[in-house]
Amino acid sequence: MAGGNLFPGQNFNGLMRACEKRPISVETLEEAVAEIEGEVRSRLEREVSSESIGELVMDKLRALDDVAYVRFASVYRQFKDIDRFIEELQQLRKIACARIACAKIACAKIACAKIA
């Protein structure tokens, strides 16, 4: 898998390292890289900062795997202290809880539709 010329090596390597030993297939990572590169290309900017690409990587990882996201964020954001790191984890927990709540609502709607 290649990072492509739009995907800075540092972010690409960070993505790969964050996903080590996680249940994320190579195909999924390749799709993530392709989507990030597509997003960058769609901006039609001559240059896109590595910071901007890093944020795209974090968004993608947040959706793929919470642990990989935390790994990447801890290096990328270079948390200055444990309190800032805990704040990030709490934010991630809120997002995860919202996803679970949405999934439960969707399941309930499907169950009600089957009964009706």
Q: Could you tell me the pTM of the whole model?
A: 0.65
* Closest by CA position to 29, among listed 64, 72, 53, 58: 64
Return the pLDDT at 9: 60
Instruction: Place 4 in a pLDDT band, splitting at 50, 70 and 90.
Output: very low
Domain that holds residue 112: 88-116
Return the pLDDT at 2: 42
Instruction: Place 115 in a pLDDT band, splitting at 50, 70 and 90.
Output: low
Answer yes or no: is 83 within a domain. Answer: no
Same domain, 49 and 101: no
Query: pLDDT (tens digit, 9 = 90+) per residue, 29-85?
Result: 889 988 988 888 888 778 888 888 888 998 899 889 988 988 888 777 777 777 877
| C-alpha R_g of the chain | 17
Give the contacts of 67 (CB within 8 A, at least 6 positions apart). 22
Same domain, 73 and 93: no
> Rounded to whole angstroms, what are the CA distances from 33 to 56, 59, 65?
10, 12, 15
- Percent of the chain topping pLDDT 70: 79
